[in-house]
Amino acid sequence: MNKVYKTAAEALEGVLHDGMFIAAGGFGLCGIPELLIDAIRDAGTKDLTIASNNCGIDDFGLGILLQTRQIKKMISSYVGENAEFMRQYLSKELELEFNPQGTLAERMRAGGSGIAGFYTRTGVGTLIAEGKEHKDFDGQTHILERSIVADLAIVKAWKADDTGNLVFRKTARNFNPPAAMCGKICVVEVEEIVPRGSIDPDQIHLPGIYVHRIIQGTHEKRIEQRTTRKKESA
Amino acid sequence: MNKVYKTAAEALEGVLHDGMFIAAGGFGLCGIPELLIDAIRDAGTKDLTIASNNCGIDDFGLGILLQTRQIKKMISSYVGENAEFMRQYLSKELELEFNPQGTLAERMRAGGSGIAGFYTRTGVGTLIAEGKEHKDFDGQTHILERSIVADLAIVKAWKADDTGNLVFRKTARNFNPPAAMCGKICVVEVEEIVPRGSIDPDQIHLPGIYVHRIIQGTHEKRIEQRTTRKKESA
Amino acid sequence: MPWDRNQMAARAAAELEDGMYVNLGIGIPTLVANYVGDKDITLQSENGMLGMGPFPFEGEEDPDLINAGKQTITELDRTAYFDSATSFAMIRGGKIAAAILGAMEVAENGDLANWMIPGKLIKGMGGAMDLVAGVGRVIVVMDHTNKAGDSKILRECTLPLTGKGVVDRIITNLGVLDVVDGGLKIVELADGISEDELRNATQATIVT
Amino acid sequence: MPWDRNQMAARAAAELEDGMYVNLGIGIPTLVANYVGDKDITLQSENGMLGMGPFPFEGEEDPDLINAGKQTITELDRTAYFDSATSFAMIRGGKIAAAILGAMEVAENGDLANWMIPGKLIKGMGGAMDLVAGVGRVIVVMDHTNKAGDSKILRECTLPLTGKGVVDRIITNLGVLDVVDGGLKIVELADGISEDELRNATQATIVT
């Protein structure tokens, strides 16, 4: 069992194909798989469907794959930060499926958990519910949401051991565990690969069983909304 | 916000009533809420329905509440360790609803997650599927399982801070987080209450939002199958 | 005089009680955090955090620590982090006592629209649909009328809904209204605002 | 001579490949761990652990560290702990490559019965129904016949099922059979067992 690869390009070798379905971790620009996104751009894989809460910004994160027109369809909850996204969507170059944020996260978790579908009240009576099965439980209407299983999950973690056990850091965890769970193949980039046994087994956020390939690399970790307070106001 | 109580009896004050539905953590005798079970025995609450993977043994864990005939119905996956259970069940003094272990855990998680029901392949074509809705997804038959919401969850953790953030230890985690999630009220017993801020916020297994009352106490932690190897054989 | 943004936020903060876990939306709701005072409130950020602290001091920003508005924030001694599936599990599961959200329109039956203007604004609903469907109490904080002076409190919403019959209370610059059987009930008037002024600025049915 | 328990376990271990995550049932399947040799196998215990180690030395038992058979065990340098919902998420989600389980009866269509004898044995299915529905490959290890000498490999199961059409391979004291279209196919015979002996001990249809 060797899960450790040298570069993002090597870690993606043999798993990319045009028209594939990718689930990506990250929220805004926080905890996004920067290196793997760059490698997918370099590989030129086309007609991608990507499930990701957001689509980066124009020149960082998944926005890069919009610039290169590699994305055919996005499944997202919020895409407001990206002018190129709007342009391509309004000109019908890009398909978009809006999912409520929690529904998107749960669809990914379900896909990795052998749950084909689940009933939620989220979205009942809205556009989201159109065409979906409705069912009442205890007097309340729910809609059926299907699970997501992706050909590939691209994920960013803080640390991994060489068996793929992962630890995330602060709010950079976000969609990364559910995205990892729903990928048939899951490739992870981390800031540090540590020897097995050096992470407390009670403190592993995502067990290595979900992780197929790992790379270590340097991350830019760009901040989208740098908001601060003055020392005086403390 | 004061979640810390002195004794199990105090922590259960006002939340017990005859005929109530309780979800309990633990697997076998590992990670069971010993102190809360004792306090429920002392309170004498009757006609309980309890969702718990197992039902303890004759003189420890939930088995104690069988001795006192406080349990009306169990929802469990395995009850093989308990002679009194068998006696009461065969004499129809006790109702039993078998759930596959994973279905039971997921039903609890769903109950705490606003998921009214979910589709699984587990149990298709078996007794478990009888009377349940069947539905095909991608050519495979699934059955609909409903979520569990309990009046009370009784849970054992290793450590808590005073805001209810919990940490579990090794395989004593088991059903405790899903049980905690599905309780309208969740009461937790721990080995140690530590000051807030002393648990790394990345290392909290269950956030305090799920926890309403906490007690610290001494646990017997009985071993059900003490199995060892000889030093020579190492 | 109508309430200003900060007065609306302060009024919304008065809705909160000791021990509550609360989710604040962006815009005016974010300001509510400044007015909770001594109350023991824990703020949830739906990108995976309970116990959200204030903005960091300059130079102490951490790119791994942001709120749902993508702003850099800090942690507290009660903070816990978790993934997005767990975050929305607690939201849908009713563990969050209240969400305080902005809105484009609210209808007298509690319908809420705050995510989309067809043909114009297609940013997405983010976590708003999950929040309004799941939390214990939905409190909307918004201006009573839009820039054109038209009521944002309507008999029926005209925009695509975020949730159907989900709003419990509306706090505007003119006062406070509750969604009740048959329409909206005036709970409170902003300082110096008369009931007639509020009624005239409201398209929805007001019941007494 | 038919295989003994250890030989059956060794034969089952030969099914496993480097890098696999595997769940072993109680009884003979537990012995499989003794025969994986140098292969890089990670054992899952469905009560919430990946990377199950051997039994502890005397005096080193930890009541917080048990396997699904409630036996005290140890951890390894690859071990990860998690809750029961997560444990069965990976089981149902197909992340476990194989489960090696005991059985009371197996039918030629892959039906498996191993949890209940009506009126006699009502211990429960534990995690068996989830495992057979979810893992990549289900391998049954059991004696070919029961104590009365009757075949446990049947045209149809008589006992309540654990799973329908779930078994891929059966390893018994007499040999190895695969579930294929139309019945079972002999893959291998135990040392000194003839095809006729195996056929005579088998009620199910054997195809060639």
pLDDT of residue A232: 67
Parallel, antiparallel, or unpaired: how do β-strands D206-207 and D183-189 relate?
A: parallel
Residue B181 has pLDDT above 60, yes or no: yes
Residue A82 has pLDDT above 90, yes or no: no
| C154 or A234, which is more confident | C154
CA-to-CA separations, D110 to A49, A87, C112, in angstroms, rounded? 37, 54, 53
Q: Which domains does chain D have, with CATH numbers?
A: 5-207 (3.40.1080.10)
Considering chain D, what is the average pLDDT of its residues?
96
Active site residue C46: yes
* Contact with chain A for residue D18, Cβ under 8 A: yes
Give the distance from residue D194's alpha carbon to the nearest chain B alpha carbon, in angstroms.
Answer: 35
| B231 or C82, which is more confident | C82
Crossing angle of helices D84-92 and B101-111, in 10° steps, is: 120
pLDDT digits (tens, 9 = 90+) for B10-56: 999 999 999 999 999 999 999 999 999 999 999 999 999 999 999 99
Which residues have CB under 8 Å from C63's CB, separation 6+?
Answer: A29, A30, A172, A221, A222, A223, C72
Residue D121 has pLDDT above 80, yes or no: no
Chain D residue with CA closest to B229: the answer is D57
Mean pLDDT throughout C173-194? 97
Measured in residues, chain C has a length of: 208
pLDDT digits (tens, 9 = 90+) for A171-224: 999 999 999 999 999 999 999 999 999 999 999 999 999 999 999 999 999 999
pLDDT of residue A149: 98
C-beta atoms of B100 and D125 within 8 A: yes
Catalytically annotated residues of D: 46
Considering chain B, what is the average pLDDT of its residues?
96
Mean pLDDT throughout C164-173? 98
Residue B234 has pLDDT above 50, yes or no: no
pLDDT of residue B232: 67
Query: Rounded to an integer, what distance in angstroms lies between the CA atom of residue B183 and that of residue B16?
Result: 13
Mean pLDDT throughout C103-117? 96
Sign of the C-alpha dihedral, residues B56, B62, B66, B68? positive
DSSP lists the bridge partners of residue A193 as A160
Q: Which of C15, C17, C46, C108 is catalytic?
A: C46
pLDDT of residue B120: 98
pLDDT of residue D145: 97
C-beta atoms of C54 and A205 within 8 A: no
Sign of the C-alpha dihedral, residues B63, B65, B66, B67? positive
Phi, psi of B138 (to 5 degrees): 50, 40
* Contact with chain C for residue B201, Cβ under 8 A: yes
pLDDT of residue C119: 81
Instruction: Identify the CA nearest to C53 among candidates C39, C63, C64, C67.
Output: C67
Phi, psi of C68 (to 5 degrees): -70, -15
Interface probe with B: pick from D83, D86, D121, most Cβ of B within 10 Å = D83
How confident is residue C121, by pLDDT bands cut at 50, 70 and 90? Answer: confident
ipTM: 0.97
Say what the pTM is.
Answer: 0.97
C-beta atoms of D50 and A181 within 8 A: no
pLDDT of residue A234: 47
Helices (H), C32-110: 84-92
C-beta atoms of B116 and A120 within 8 A: yes
Chain C residue with CA closest to A172: the answer is C64
Lowest mean pLDDT segment, chosen from B75-89, B208-222, C154-168? B75-89
Phi, psi of D13 (to 5 degrees): -60, -30
